[in-house]
Structure 1
Amino acid sequence: MGATVNITKRIDAPADKVWAAIAGIGGLDRWFPIISACRVEGEGVGATRIMTLADGAEMRDRIVEIDAGARRLRYERPTHPFPVTDYRGVVEVDDDGEDSAVLCWTVRFEADEAHREEMLKLIETAISEGVDGLRAELEA
């Protein structure tokens, strides 16, 4: 069964600065409490982002789009320890005035009924905390 998590938050930093952080692909270990390490293999579209979770499990993202004009990054997560399939994420950054931006992080995935609500809560919390971490870094 399909599920969607959408986190939208305002960041008091110029949209280009927020986009630069997202487009850099790495850094998730600085923003997301659940991620203890993050490294990137390759560059741009086709790169692999490899994350180690706090419990030692590994996740891998494949970058499928980096659109600087639209300030949009898309990725797929084929490797993760969670009971979900077809995990896809989109991060978009929009101007919200001269020195602020709106960041929208959307994740879509498939999960069976037994795990759907648990995964919605876990992913929503993780993304929200990660965006808060990014915001704290960029607003400092």
Structure 2
Amino acid sequence: MPRVVRSTIIDAPVDALWSVLRDFNGHESWHPIVARSEIERSQPSDRIGCVRRFTLQDGSELREQLLTLSDLEMTFSYCLLDTPIPLFNYVAHVRLLPVTDGNRSFWHWESRFTTPPGREAELAATVGDEVYTNGIEAVRQLPALARQEG
């Protein structure tokens, strides 16, 4: 079972980063592979169990469900419900922690899933690079997280 992990330090306060990431439907505004996204049934994007339906830039449509969300622990988990990509039993977890040196944030993003035999490395690289690494780099560039120099 592949496990994909990406962790990094973001040069922004943890509360500012959390305000961006906790919006389960917010990835449309920052992730470069997401073309559009909506929460089904007009539910709030922080309601446990809500489902986001989104379209990638290549036209692929996916559905993911929010499994957990904790503002206290700055964590959330979600799973894939429908995807044309052969990722099965996909569950991802995001966790933020404050870094006191410089008022920065530690971001940990990981997932586990199964794939068709022989495609583990290929699909782990897709998730790790195209989804996680590209998403993290896009968030780094958000004006809302830019440092205010005094």
User: TM-score, length-normalised on structure 2?
Assistant: 0.86
How many residues align? The count is 139
2:95 matched to 1:95?
no
Partner Cα distance (2:120, 2:86) in 1: 9
Q: Give the corresponding residue for 2:18.
A: 19
Q: CA deviation at 1:134?
A: 1.3
For 2:124, what is the secondary structure of its paired residue? helix
Which stretch has the larger CA shift, 33-42 or 125-134? 33-42
Q: CA deviation at 1:135?
A: 1.8
Partner Cα distance (1:73, 1:92) in 2: 7
Q: CA deviation at 1:128?
A: 0.7
Structure 2, gaps ≥5 residues long: none
Q: Give the corresponding residue for 1:122.
A: 126
Q: CA deviation at 1:20?
A: 1.4
For 1:55, what is the secondary structure of its paired residue? coil
Structure 1, gaps ≥5 residues long: none
Q: Rg larger in 1 or in 2?
A: 2
Partner Cα distance (1:30, 1:21) in 2: 9
Q: CA deviation at 1:32?
A: 2.1
2:63 matched to 1:60?
yes
Contact 1:31 1:131 in 2 (8 A): no
Contact 2:16 2:145 in 1 (8 A): no
Which stretch has the larger CA shift, 25-34 or 50-59? 25-34
Partner Cα distance (2:61, 2:92) in 1: 17
Q: Give the corresponding residue for 2:139.
A: 134
Output the amino acid matched with 1:106. Answer: E
Q: CA deviation at 1:89?
A: 0.7
How big is the alpha-carbon RMSD for the aligned residues of Structure 1 and Structure 2?
1.3
Output the amino acid matched with 2:83. Answer: H
Partner Cα distance (1:110, 1:99) in 2: 37
